Structure 1
Amino acid sequence: GSRVFVEGKGHAGLYGGPAGDLYLLIKVRPHHLFERRGDNLYLDINIKLTEAVLGAEVEVPTLTGERIKVRIPPGTKEGDTVRVEGKGMPRLRGSGFGDLILRIHIDVPKLGLMDKFFGDGRRLKQLLEELDKLLPEPQRIRTRQP
């Protein structure tokens, strides 16, 4: 946590001497949506596969309760981040606010769960197979980033 120093606000000094200093240790309770790292806030969001491919505008909450619209760029991948400037925590030493950083997770539907939307799922499976033929093969093995 953060430590706050308050000069002269501690216990009274011995024999009428000046008061000591007060040190406060501030601990922030975990939030059910946001993770704090310094002045920045992190929020995990789920987007649809089509939103990842095509791009989208999504609405997300801020810590103050405000809801803001954020643009997700086309070609977004699992684990990508989108930064919203000035929507994080107030800066302790200085002016302004940190950023809100959205961590992107792509919600990939299971064909069995899609049956209620697409009948028996055959049409969705057919569309996905057609799309698969159009997409280039990915590089399966990734090189490590130092």
Structure 2
Amino acid sequence: MRFMVMVKATADSEAGVMPSADEFAAMGAFNERLVQAGVMEAGEGLHPSARGARVAFSGSSRQVINGPFPITNELVAGFWIWNCASLQEAIEWVRQCPNPMRTDSEIEIRPIYSAEDFGDALTPELREQEERLRQQVQTRNG
């Protein structure tokens, strides 16, 4: 199963406070363990929401909302994509993670849908398209 593992933002991360060299080293060592175990597929930190935007949809209209966004603890400061046998395995990995922030913090774990989860709504043609696009992305990214 694939999971998106999201590091929740804090006031510091929203202010653009960067990790120390020791904090980078601790997270780098953890990431190395994830890669060596075949768990980590991707992982990145995100700039503060002040540098981002949201697009709100209502029927056919679109409204752009520029950051910063007000509710810090609902924002994502970084993420990983992991491949684990179960939610419990992903939880065990997160429990081994160094605290990603200098203050109290939270990491959210969410399963990623797979083609099988969509049943008959994902027709054979749509499955073929999805696989073709996935392969194109993988080829482009090397």
Instruction: Output the TM-score relative to the length of structure 1.
Output: 0.28
Kindly indicate whether structure 1 or structure 2 has the higher relative contact order, using CA contacts under 8 Å at least 6 residues apart: 2
Please identify which structure carries the higher strand content. 1
